[in-house]
Amino acid sequence: MNTDDEMMETVGRNFLRKYWKMNLVFVVLIVAALAEALLVFLWVLTDLQTLGVIQTTLGLLSVGQIITLILHLLFWEIILVGIWVIVVAALVYTKWYNNLPDEDKFPKRERGRRDEGDAFGFLIGITWLIIIWFTDRWDVTFNAWTVNDWVYSWLWAVFWDLLIIGIPVLLFFIYWIRKKP
Model confidence pLDDT, tens digit, residues 37-79:
999 999 999 999 999 998 888 878 777 788 889 999 999 999 9
| Mean pLDDT, residues 26-36 | 92
Q: Whole-model pTM? A: 0.64
Q: Quick one: 29 and 84 in the same domain?
A: yes
Q: Quick one: 98 and 159 in the same domain?
A: no
Q: How many domains does the chain have?
A: 2
Cα dihedral: 16, 19, 22, 27 (round 10):
20
Q: Quick one: 92 and 123 in the same domain?
A: no
Find, among 92, 69, 82, 1, the residue nearest to 34 by Cα.
Answer: 82
| Confidence tier at 140 by pLDDT (50, 70, 90) | confident
Q: Quick one: 63 and 123 in the same domain?
A: no
Q: Quick one: 105 and 118 in the same domain?
A: no
Domain containing 135 equals: 113-181
